[in-house]
A = this chain, B = another copy of it.
Amino acid sequence: MLPDINVYKILEIIGTIAFASSGAMVAVKRRLDYLGIVVLGVTTAVGGGMCRDILIGQTPPGMFLDPTNTIIAFWTVNCMFLTIRMKWSQLLHLQGETYDNIMNFLDAVGLGLFTATGVNMAISAGFGNNGFLCAFLGVITGVGGGILRDILSGQTPVVLRKHIYACASIAGAVSYLLFMQAADHNLSMFLSSSIVVMIRLLARKYDWNLPGAQ
């Protein structure tokens, strides 16, 4: 038996939490204030979906019409803020490599589900016969938030530099489109997200990187 759609809702929430945390961590490292941390965290979590919605002309973007994810991201960032400020993470021994591994796994789950959700929304919006557009919208949903986070915090987007991050998203988007030819929505989402998670975990474990030109 495949998981029910509500399981995906829960997984998407997990992805939102992971993305919001990663944005908040970048803001903390750049010594931004409370509001900067909130903005970067929330942007990382919902920015990809916002880019997708603007590109297909669904305005105002979904993050305003159904702000569930926006609210989840907001509270996630606040918990992160408190945790770091109160130094609770030391009490929980959630530090260094353990913490990195947990975050990396959640982030991979988020990337996979956001990518599949993005492709799915593009199909729902009636662009199903334009595979290139659907795949692109899936990828931008997955990586757009991270790109906005990096632009706002003044660094070259990580997705352009490291660890086949966008590549995993591209693989997920394309495989979702392929699976949809033969399987239903649930199965496609499960399989394509699994592919993304697997690529990301392997890329981290074996330190895969794309070649540069020199």
Contact = CB atoms under 8 A, between A and B. Distances in A.
Nearest to A156: B154
Copy total for this chain: 3
Q: Classify chain A's interface size.
A: 35 or more
Given A35-B160, A147-B152, 9 more contacts: A32-B212, A33-B162, A36-B161, A37-B213, A56-B60, A57-B57, A64-B130, A65-B133, A67-B132
Given A65-B130, A166-B39, A213 B55 contact: no
Interface of A: 27-28, 30-37, 39-40, 54-57, 59-61, 64-65, 67, 70, 80-81, 84-85, 127, 130, 132-133, 136, 147, 151-157, 159-162, 164, 166-167, 209-214
A148 to B, nearest CB: 10
Contacts of A147: 152
Most chain B C-beta atoms within 10 Å of own C-beta, residue among A54, A156, A161: A156
